[in-house]
Structure 1
Amino acid sequence: MRPKQLNFPLNPDYGTGATIRRVSLRAQSHRVDAHLLDNFHEMRCSIVHDCSIVTAITGESVRIPTTACPAAVHQLQSLVGLPISTPIRDFYAGGIARHHCTHLLDLAVMAIGHAPRPSTEILYEAEVPDELELPVPMTIWRNGRLVCRWLVRQGAILEPLELRGRPLGTGFAAWASLVFEQDQLEAATILARTWLIAIGRRYRPSQAAGRPARDNPEMLGRCYAYSTGPVETAVMTGEKEAHLHRLQREA
């Protein structure tokens, strides 16, 4: 579920821009490299495998919102030894994601999912416009080709009609895993995650540098940085929002 409100200074330019997230996946023999970039985050993750199980995993937090985030990289080691055929839902069962950086875990899961595939390179770009009064069109592109376009209002899909009423927050994974096949599910998940972080566009987190992370009570328990222990000493990094330009897309 997306928080309803964050305790940051408001962004007076909200309503004029969009949240853009890019995810690249590069599969080679026995290795997959993944990279994530959006308005508020940049992260990398690489997995090594023997065509059966994950034998090694590394992660890097480049741009992150709190000082606790970099330590979440170590949580990825819990994935070493898992079969590369592990169903996606198993990586998130039982609230496991709350012990990870959500974005790093997503990257790792996607990388593992591409391990059994032939060598390939994929680039996703998702875009969620600032939402004010009217519904907004959310899109995701795969190597420049449109995969999904949803018209969304307050976290629920309005169009296409066959998805009307489907939520992007709580319950998304359950219904999406039944509706979409592998590649489309991957794209849909990235698009839903982009909607999740798009709330950040409403604020100026760069003006909250040094403030305790626990000043945002709605975030408590949602991820590693906001879990008991790390959140007690975590402060906001005050990273300035990155404004990404659209990549070239097919008409």
Structure 2
Amino acid sequence: MRPKQLNFPLNPDYGTGSTVRRVSLRTQSDRINGHLLDNFHEMHCSIVHDGTIVTAVVGQSIRIPTTACAGAVGQLQSLIGLPICTPRRDFYAGGIARHHCTHLLDLAVLAIAHAQQPSMEILYEAEVPDEVELPVVIAVWRNSDLICRWLVRQGAILEPLELRGRPLGTGFAAWASAAFDQDQLEAATILARTWLIAVGRRYRPSQAAGRPARENPVMLGRCYAYSAEPVKTAVMTGEKEVHLHR
């Protein structure tokens, strides 16, 4: 669920831009390299496997919103030993995602899902325009092919009509899993995640550098950085938003 209000200075340019997320995968015989880049984050993940189980995980946080986020890289070691055929939903069972950087975990799970596929490169690009008063069109492409294009308003799909009323936040995974095949679901999930983080465009986190992360209580318990211990000492990094264009 999107946070309703964050304690950051407001962005006076909100309404003139968009949030863009790029997720790339490069598969090899025993390794999948994943990279994630959006307006507010950049991270890398490599999954090594023996054809049956995950044997090693390497993560790197390049651009992150709090000083605690980097510690989430170590949480990825919990994936070692898991079968590469593990259903994606099992990686999120029991609220496991709250103990991870959700973006880095999503990237790792996506990489594992492609472990059994032949060598290939995949690039997802999702775009969510700033939503002010009117509905906006959000979309996601895979290797430049349009996969999903939705008209949305306040977190719900308006068009296409067969998806009208479907939520992008809480409840998304349940309906999307039933509505899409695996390839479409992968793209749709990236688009929904991009919508989720697009709320950041309303603010100027760069002007909150050095402020305690716990000043945003609405975020408590949502991810590794905002879990009980890390958040005690976490401060905002003040990373400037990167303006991406598809």
TM-score (norm 2): 0.99
SS in 2 for 1:7: coil
Partner of 1:237 in structure 2?
237
Which 4+ residue blocks in structure 1 deviate beyond 3 angstroms? none
The residue correspondences of 1:1-251 to structure 2 (distance < 5 A) are 1-246=1-246
Unpaired runs of 5+ residues, structure 2, are none
Q: What TM-score does the superposition give when structure 1 sets the normalisation length?
A: 0.97
CA distance in 1: counterparts of 2:231 and 2:180, whole angstroms: 36
Unaligned segments of structure 1, at least 5 residues: 247-251
1:176 CA drift (Å): 1.0
Report the AA paired with residue 80 of structure 2: V
**Separation in structure 1 between the aligned mates of residue 218 and residue 75 of structure 2, nearest angstrom:** 23
**Equivalence for 1:249:** none
Question: Which whole-Å CA distance do the structure 2 matches of 1:206 and 1:35 have between them?
Answer: 23
Q: Offset of 1:6 from its aligned partner?
A: 0.5
State the distance in 2 between where 1:223 and 1:198 align. 17
What is the total number of aligned residue pairs between the two structures?
A: 246
What's the C-alpha RMSD, in Å, of the aligned pairs? 0.5
Q: Deviations over 1:29-79 (max 9, x none)?
A: 010000000000000000000111101001000000000000000000001
TM-superposed deviation, 1:181: 1.1
Distance in 1, matches of 2:86 and 2:178, equals 17
Query: What percent identity do the matched residue pairs reach?
Result: 83
